[in-house]
Amino acid sequence: MSGPELLLWFFAAASLAGGLLMLVARHPMRVALALISTMISLAGIYALLGVHVIAVFQVLIYVGAVMVFMVYVIMLLDLRDSSFLERYGRHIVPAVVLAAVLAAALAAAAGSGRIMTAEELAMYHGPAGNSFAVQPFSAEFLQRYWLHFELTSVLLLAAVVAAIAVVRTGRRRDG
């Protein structure tokens, strides 16, 4: 087993472990930290795949913005209420069963070879000349998909406005 492959296995295991830790941790803060570790492992996987842009964005946006916000809110609402004392809801057993079914179904789908047949697999060998490097990627991105890029800024603006509206309405109702 070569180095990159070993690293791949390592990161995969790490992300899975992070996910499992999330399930069992009690304090939401610990849950958030487990999630962060999962995300960083995933970023590592992306980097190993050669998709550097995405890896960087994963860390910057996901961990750096989303999870920070989440951590901030967890610290803000440090509620020791019933959800802290009782981690799991009422539907734990049926949920686990059904999710296992789902996982089995998905695994079977993945392993059956229907998702990508052998011929199709043979056609692709990996990125042709590392087209996911930052420069070629961004050039192509902003040349072909510039409209989508601009629309995302509109989406973010809408999100900001909505967030303010929600908070302000809440404040008016409470005040």
Partner 1 sequence: MNLLTLIVLLPLAGFLLNGLLGARLGKGFVSVVGCGLPILAFLAAVRAFGELDGAAGLALVETAYTWAVVGDFSFDIAFYFDRLSALMTLIVTGVGSLIHIYSTGYMKDDPSYARYFAYLNLFLFFMLLLVLGRSLLVCFVGWEGVGLASYLLIGFWFEDPAKAAAGKKAFITNRVGDAGFLLGMFLLYHALGTLDFDAVNAAFQGPVAPAVSASLVGVLLFIGATGKSAQIPLHVWLPDAMAGPTPVSALIHAATMVTAGVYLVARLNGLYLVAPEASQLIAVVGVATAFFAATIAVVQTDIKKVLAYSTISQLGFMFLALGVGAYGVAVFHVYTHAFFKACLFLGAGSVIHALGGEQDIRRMGGLAKRIPVTFVTFAVATAAIAGLPPLAGFFSKDEILWYAFASERGGSPLLWAVASVTALLTAFYMFRLLILTFLTPSRMDHETEHHVHESPWSMTGVLVVLAVLSAIGGFFHVYLFLEPVMPLPETAHALEHLELPLIILAVVVGLAGLAAAVYVYRGGLARAERLERRFPGLHRLLSGKYYVDELYETVLGRPLHWVSDRVFLRLGDRRLIDGSLHGLASLAQRAAGRLSSVETGQLQQYLWLALMGIVAMLAWMWRHG
Partner 2 sequence: MDRTQLLLGLAFALFSLGFVGVMIRRNALVMLMFMELMLNGVILSLVTFAERTATISGAVLVFLVFVVAAAEIAIAIPIVLLVARRRRTLDVGAWSELKG
The encoded tokens of residue 168 equal: 């302000």
Given a contact cutoff of 8 angstroms between Cβ atoms, the answer to whether 159 and 69 are in contact is no
Among 1, 2, 3, 82, binds partner 2 (CB under 8 A): 82
Cβ distance to partner 1 smaller for residue 28 or 44: 28
The nearest distance, CB 3 to partner 2, in angstroms, is 14
3-state secondary structure of 32: helix
Q: Which stretch binds partner 1 (CB under 8 A): 14-22, 64-72, 98-106, 118-126?
A: 98-106
98 binds partner 1, rule: CB under 8 A: yes
Distance between CA 67 and CA 99 in Å, rounded?
Answer: 25
CA 122 to each of CA 112, 118, 126, 130: distance values in angstroms, whole numbers, following the listed order: 16, 6, 10, 18
Task: Indicate which single residue of 77, 80, 81, 91 sits in contact with partner 1 (rule: CB under 8 A).
Answer: 91
Positions in 44-73 near partner 2 (CB under 8 A): 45-46, 49-51, 53-54, 57-58, 61-62, 65-67, 69-70, 73
How many whole angstroms separate alpha carbon 34 and alpha carbon 28? 10
